């Protein structure tokens, strides 16, 4: 058995009906979200014809993600998390219905469109921390990473298929049909959440599902080396080596600005991510989650540094595919570690910190890469960024022995969740 390559670990789908419902509902909402992203981009461009207008979409999504993501963490540690996700999913459904309505009415006001986008994003951000806590409450400790890998695979698949499906729907039936697809997807997601068992935080009132959150909910990240080390590793990788903003410049300089090549850059990252997900059965069974994340994050930086000097197109795409695969492994192991290492009473607020880092890190990293490239070159920015990420990750690994020694819990550690037979461990172990 040792050394054998395992494909995607599907045990979570077989062992937990609740997780299976959650996975199908989440997958539907991810596809719908990708379709909506393309529809909004197309409509804003049609209304403004300006890159400033399309850039404003980033403000309408980025700011609510950060602001409401932190608030969502407090809600997740105060109320029944299933209730929080039900309410926020309903809000997303209303926003999707609003987008469909304004498209049917041939709305020409871009501010109304962006406001609806902001409403939907705000609801998503409010529910994201609570939703992140579900797998660890529904699965045994040794299956949490596998469950997160399954979720990541569905996300990568949505990134590949969603935009193409959006183009087909918009070309055939128009923008209202694209937004209606998102509304249907949110109904599927809502039905999945309704079927879940109660997810009260530890210490919550059994009748109302409300509790007074324990103090220091976000400071626990700094008090636990495994938590701050894992998040610092992710921030180092994204802040110092995020490449997407440099893709157009690299494409222009090396490959003549061919738009098909630009699309291949993005597809290569997604293909690498999906491949790693489909072969993740081996990784999710490894218990040395800290070392796996550190190694994968370092490989991400190395692959992007190599992309910075890769001449042939095949080599450039290969580097990006390796980077995408490394990113998937890093994300899955980090997410599992954070959920397993965080006591349930603090899990919502810690998840909100992880969520904000996951949202802000790549955006700031793209901004950093663009600024450095404008002062030097795209190759220098990519190589310098990749090598800087490796050094930062090495510094975390050197100074954080608990993260290096972290092991995921065994299946035997399974505290009970009220009303659920197949539940999960609430804290990992360091050995």
pTM exceeds cut of 0.75: no
Sign of CA dihedral 99, 106, 164, 273: negative
**Alpha-carbon distance 250 to 265, whole Å?**
10
**Alpha-carbon distance 148 to 327, whole Å?**
13
Give the pairing type, strands 429-430 and 406-407: antiparallel
Residue with tokens 């990006």: 320
Which of 365, 286, 369 shows the shortest CA–CA distance to 332?
Answer: 286
DSSP annotation of 79: S
What is the pLDDT at residue 270? 83
Which of 408, 385, 361, 73 shows the shortest CA–CA distance to 233?
Answer: 361
What is the pLDDT at residue 106? 94
Helices and strands (H and E) in the chain: how many: 18, 2
**Alpha-carbon distance 54 to 409, whole Å?**
45
Sign of CA dihedral 393, 394, 400, 401: positive
Q: What's the Rg (C-alpha) of the chain? A: 21
Which of 103, 114, 68, 62 shows the shortest CA–CA distance to 88?
Answer: 68
Q: How many CB atoms lie within 10 A of CB 122?
A: 24
What is the pLDDT at residue 424? 33
Q: How many CB atoms lie within 10 A of CB 91?
A: 18
**Alpha-carbon distance 147 to 80, whole Å?**
22
What is the pLDDT at residue 411? 54
Which of 329, 332, 339 shows the shortest CA–CA distance to 428?
Answer: 339
Tell me: the pLDDT tens digits for 300-336? 999 999 999 998 999 999 999 999 999 999 988 898 8
What is the pLDDT at residue 9? 84
What is the pLDDT at residue 104? 97
Question: Which domains, from first to last, does the chain contain?
Answer: 16-140+154-201 (1.20.1250.20), 218-408 (1.20.1250.20)
| CA angle centred on 35, ends 33 and 36, rounded to 5° | 65
Given a cut of 70, the residues of the chain with pLDDT beneath it are 1-6, 51-52, 55, 203-218, 259, 282, 284, 410-431
Distances (CA, A) of 113 to 173, 180, 291, 427: 19, 15, 45, 43
Burial (CB count within 10 angstroms: exposed 0-12, middle 13-18, buried 19+), residue 295: middle
**Alpha-carbon distance 50 to 53, whole Å?**
5
**Alpha-carbon distance 141 to 64, whole Å?**
32
Helix axes 259-278, 247-255, angle to 10 degrees: 120
Burial (CB count within 10 angstroms: exposed 0-12, middle 13-18, buried 19+), residue 5: exposed
Phi, psi of 429, deg, nearest 5: -130, 150
Note the helical H segments in 202-288. 220-223, 225-241, 247-255, 259-278, 281-285
């Amino acid at each position: 058995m040792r050394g054998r390559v395992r494909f995607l670990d599907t045990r979570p789908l077989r062992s937990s009906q609740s997780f299976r419902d959650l996975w199908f509902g989440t997958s539907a909402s991810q596809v719908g979200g990708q379709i909506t992203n393309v529809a909004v981009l197309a409509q804003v461009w049609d209304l403004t014809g300006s890159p400033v207008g399309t850039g404003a979409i980033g403000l309408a999504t980025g700011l609510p993600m950060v602001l409401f993501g932190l608030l969502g963490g407090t809600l997740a540690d105060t109320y029944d998390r299933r209730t929080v996700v039900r309410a926020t999913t309903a809000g997303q459904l209303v926003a999707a219905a609003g987008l469909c309505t304004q498209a049917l009415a041939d709305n020409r006001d871009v501010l109304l469109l962006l406001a609806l986008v902001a409403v939907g994003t705000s609801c998503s951000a409010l529910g994201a921390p609570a939703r992140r806590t579900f797998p660890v409450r529904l699965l045994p400790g040794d299956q949490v990473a596998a469950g997160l890998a399954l979720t990541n695979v569905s996300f990568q698949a949505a990134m590949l298929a969603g935009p193409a499906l959006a183009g087909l729907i918009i070309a055939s039936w128009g923008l209202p049909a694209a937004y209606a697809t998102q509304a249907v997807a949110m109904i599927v997601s809502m039905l999945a959440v309704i079927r879940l068992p109660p997810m009260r935080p530890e210490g919550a009132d059994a009748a109302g599902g409300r509790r007074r959150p324990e103090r220091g909910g976000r400071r626990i990240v700094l008090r636990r080396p495994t938590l701050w080390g894992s998040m610092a590793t992710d921030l180092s990788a994204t802040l110092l080596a995020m490449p997407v903003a440099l893709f157009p410049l690299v494409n222009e300089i090396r490959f003549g600005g061919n738009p098909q090549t630009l699309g291949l850059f993005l597809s290569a990252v997604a293909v690498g991510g999906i491949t790693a997900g489909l072969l993740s059965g081996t990784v999710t069974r490894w218990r040395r989650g800290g070392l796996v994340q550190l190694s994968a994050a370092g490989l991400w930086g190395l692959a992007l540094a190599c992309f910075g000097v890769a001449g042939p197109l095949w080599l450039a795409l290969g580097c990006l595919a390796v980077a995408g695969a490394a990113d998937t492994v890093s994300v899955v192991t980090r997410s599992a570690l954070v959920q397993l290492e965080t006591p349930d009473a603090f899990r919502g607020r810690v998840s909100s910190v992880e969520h904000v880092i996951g949202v802000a890190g790549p955006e700031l990293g793209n901004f950093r890469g663009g600024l450095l490239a404008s002062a030097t070159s795209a190759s220098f920015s990519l190589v310098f960024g990749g090598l800087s990420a490796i050094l930062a990750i090495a510094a975390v690994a050197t100074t954080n022995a608990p993260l290096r020694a972290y092991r995921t819990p065994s299946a035997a550690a399974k505290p009970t969740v009220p009303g659920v037979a197949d539940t999960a461990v609430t804290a990992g172990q360091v050995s």
